[in-house]
Amino acid sequence: MPVARLLVTARLSDPAAVERLRDAGHDVVVRDEVRPADADELRRLAADRDGLLCLPADRIDAEFLDACPSVRFVANHAVGTDNIDLAATAARGVAVTNTPGVLDEAVADHCVGLVLAAARRIAEGDRLVRDGGWTGFSTDLLLGLDLAGATAGLVGVGGVGGAVATRLVEGFGMRGLYVARRPHPELEERLGIVRATLDALLGEADVVTLHVPLTPETRGMIGAGELARMRPGAVLVNVSRGPVVDQDALVEALREGRISAGLDVFADEPLPAGHPLTSLPNAVLTPHIASAGRLTRSRMAHLAVDNLLAMADGRTPPTPVSGP
């Protein structure tokens, strides 16, 4: 087996995954940092490498690939691949893999957490108690949305969207609408959810959850017009990618108080300190941690390593996105 020169671009939550690369006899450089590398550092570290294990914050674009022509394969430690310019990798014959499937349940759990937190105003209640502003039980304190019998609108029903639909319908007694490029008869039969247009879903759903990859088609798909179509009192939850939503339009909609939101992803990450979202009580914000189950992150790391080892050996990787 040839020895490959590999770079792991940041510390992984499970060091055993990285050890597998060394045990396989490869020349492994690990950037032992939690913070993502900036573009210059990434280029410097990758300059003599054959393959990378990288994170969603690492931009693998034409400029990077031209600066690091030795890089022939990239294993993304994420299901989303919007940090990678797939046209640029394809044009240069660079293979790309991702980590689908293993994070579906954890991301769905977090999504439902955000649904509950926004619908039942849990973060607002937490702040009220901590800040000493709670004056005692009252019948109209922090009234929120009842989930049982309400309508969930799922935008995308791949692995994550399907797992969210299962939780909201079977666990909370919601009815469900979904938007997808093709019908999903198995989900329709099992959960009784119904396929709809985006416009119809936005007009009917009390809870809208987003589960689409970021592509040129989905960038900004929830803009001012779509937010205006949402029902008064509805909840929008985004666990996909920030730019799927027009964040400035969302800030305006939240300021008007017509809807509330649970957001794990943002237009720019990290969300800058003092961003208008941070002062809106009807927004629940988490720092891109939807897949951060201990076991899930370990599974993601091992799947990324499986992919990297396969590509280093010239085998077909388990979860390819695009070939060499």
Q: Which residues are at the interface with ligand GLV (CB under 6 A)? A: 56, 78-80, 103, 291
Closest distance of CB 134 from ligand GLV, Å: 35
Closer of 142 and 289 to ligand GLV (Cβ): 289
Three state DSSP letters for the chain: CCCCEEEECCCCCCHHHHHHHHHCCCEEEECCCCCCCCHHHHHHHHCCCCEEEECCCCCECHHHHHHCCCCCEEEECCCCCCCECHHHHHHCCCEEECCCCCCHHHHHHHHHHHHHHHHCCHHHHHHHHHCCCCCCCCCCCCCCCCCCCCEEEEECCCHHHHHHHHHHHHHHCCEEEEECCCCCHHHHHHHCCEECCHHHHHHHCCEEEECCCCCCCCCCCECHHHHHHCCCCCEEEECCCHHHECHHHHHHHHHHCCCEEEECCCCCCCCCCCCHHHHCCCEEECCCCCCCCHHHHHHHHHHHHHHHHHHHCCCCCCCEEECC
Residue 238 or residue 282: which is nearer to ligand GLV going by CB?
238
Nearer to ligand GLV, 162 or 176 (CB): 162
Q: Minimum Å distance from CB 225 to ligand GLV? A: 27
Catalytic residues: 241, 269, 288
CB of 213 to ligand GLV, least distance (A): 8
CB of 103 to ligand GLV, least distance (A): 6
Nearest CB to ligand GLV, comparing residues 50 and 104: 104
